[in-house]
Amino acid sequence: MMTLILRRLLALPVILIVVYTITLTLAWAVPGSPIENPEKRPKPEVIEQMKKQYNLDSFPRFYFSYLDSATGFEYLRDKLSGELARERQAAIDEGLPAPHRPVFDFGPSLKYDDKTVNEIIADSLPVSVTLGATAILIALVIGTISGVIGAVKPNSIADLSTLSVAMVGISLPSFVTGTVLLLVFSIWLGWFPVAQWGTLRSIALPAFALSLPFAAYIARLTRMGMIESLGADYIRTARAKGNPERVVLIKHALKNAFLPVLSYLGPATAFAMTGSFVIERVFTVPGMGEHFVSAVQNNDYFLIIGVVLVFSTMLIVFNLVVDILYRWIDPRIA
């Protein structure tokens, strides 16, 4: 177990550097310039100046200067040279709060002049995590229960109806389900607020909308796994021992049937937490998904790389968590 964790954690920086290289190369290849102001075009000398300031005129210079600040080397250098202490002292002398310098500096946003990528992610990531985690929680509960119901009586009305609801959940795009939910529950019934974020009530609707495709997929995985394990010999044994049906279903069958769901849960959680762009738009949720799309539209290199790196890290970490859980739930795997 420890070697697994250690190996994955050691691989993390290597993977991130590869991801960074690919992302930057692709972003750089996209036509358009990040410093163009759509309505009032800046003068050529202004563009020249900005290109120099952000190293946009040279791919290698940008590549290495970003690596320097994002990996914390720049911070370390400023710390050792005493530059950080000097800045802090200067602020204190003026009676002002000391400037905030993050260790891992992901650079400024090219579109939003005043914000660093660190700040943008710090503002939006908790929102996305709340939304994504709630959605996966809902998906897990709904999906598992309907999957079990379906598997107990295959091809029954209950099974067919959960299956068709699951199909609808997978096939309908979330801007349709989201808009319908918003219309019915917020506008007509007035149960949930519109375009507000922060309270549990405001989280419920977008989280539910986001959970639907995940719930549908989990239901199908559970159903398949359950049908398979309900036909296995050890279930017959469990029943023969006189166990009540409830115990047989949950303790014996579900435990095995749940494993594919568990392995799906890792990437699903990462996706739900970062890739909910459409749901965020429809429900005006101030999450990170928005930045994935708008950063690319704006050619905001720093922000593109920042969100991609965060997403990659989450994907790797959640997969690791799932792997650990896996071994713990089913010791055979280790």
Partner 1 sequence: MYRLLVPIVLLLALIGVSVLSDKPSPRADLVFINSSDVNTLDPQRMSWMHDLRTARLIYEGLVRNDVLSHGFDIEPAVAESWEISDDAVTYTFHLREDARWSNGEPVTAEDFRYSWRRAMLPDLVSDYAAMFMNIKGAQAFYDWRVEQLEAFGEREFASASERQSASYELWEQTKAQFDETVAMRAPDPHTLIIELEKPIPYFMELCAFAVFMPVYEPLVSQYERPDPESGRLIRRPGWTRGGVLISNGPFQLTRWRMKRDMRLEKNPHYWDRDNIAIDSIDIPSVNDPNAGVLAYQTGAVDWIADVTAPYRGEMVAQKLEYLAEHAEQVEQLKAQGLDQFAIDRQLPPDPRAHTHAVSSFGTYFYNFNCKPYLPDGQPNPFADARVRRAFAMCIDKRAVADQVRRLGEPTARTLIPPGSIGGYTSPEGLPNIGDAKDNAEREEIIARSRRLLEEAGYPQDFVVTLSFNKDAGHDLIAQTIAKSWQKHLGIQTRLDQKEIKIFRDELKDKQYMTARAGWFGDYGDPTTFLDINYSTDGNNDRAYNNPAYDALLDRASVELDPEKRMQLLSEAERILVEEDVPLVPIFHYATIYMFDPHRITGLSTHPRTKQNAFLIDVLGDGKGPEQPRPMHAGADADQENES
Q: How far is the CB of 286 from partner 1 (least distance, A)?
A: 4
d(CA 221, CA 309): 30
Q: Which residues of 231-240 are buried (b: 16+ CB within 10 A; e: fewer)?
A: eeeebeebee
Tokens of 5: 């964790």
Ranges within 200-239 binding partner 1 (CB under 8 A): 200, 203
Asked if 78 interacts with partner 1 (CB under 8 A), we say no
d(CA 78, CA 86): 10
Report CA Rg, the chain. 25
Could you give the angle at which helices 59-70 and 2-29 cross, rounded to 10 degrees?
150
d(CA 139, CA 268): 10
Ranges within 249-268 binding partner 1 (CB under 8 A): 250-251, 254-255, 258, 262, 265
Asked if 91 interacts with partner 1 (CB under 8 A), we say yes
Q: How far is the CB of 157 from partner 1 (least distance, A)?
A: 27
The nearer residue to partner 1, 271 or 283, going by C-beta atoms, is 283
| Helix then strand then coil, % of the chain, to nearest 5 | 75, 0, 25
Please choose, out of 2-10, 108-116, 152-160, 163-171, the segment that lies near partner 1 by the rule CB under 8 A: 108-116
Tokens of 34: 């990040």
Q: How far is the CB of 116 from partner 1 (least distance, A)?
A: 5
* Given 52, 153, 236, 241, the residue binding partner 1 (CB under 8 A): 52
Asked if 283 interacts with partner 1 (CB under 8 A), we say yes
* DSSP per-residue letters across 19-55: HHHHHHHHHHHSSS-TT--SSSPPPHHHHHHHHHHTT
* Given 3, 14, 29, 45, the residue binding partner 1 (CB under 8 A): 45
Ranges within 304-323 binding partner 1 (CB under 8 A): 321
Asked if 189 interacts with partner 1 (CB under 8 A), we say no
The nearer residue to partner 1, 232 or 250, going by C-beta atoms, is 250
Please choose, out of 145-153, 213-221, 278-286, 304-312, the segment that lies near partner 1 by the rule CB under 8 A: 278-286
* Given 13, 21, 26, 41, the residue binding partner 1 (CB under 8 A): 41
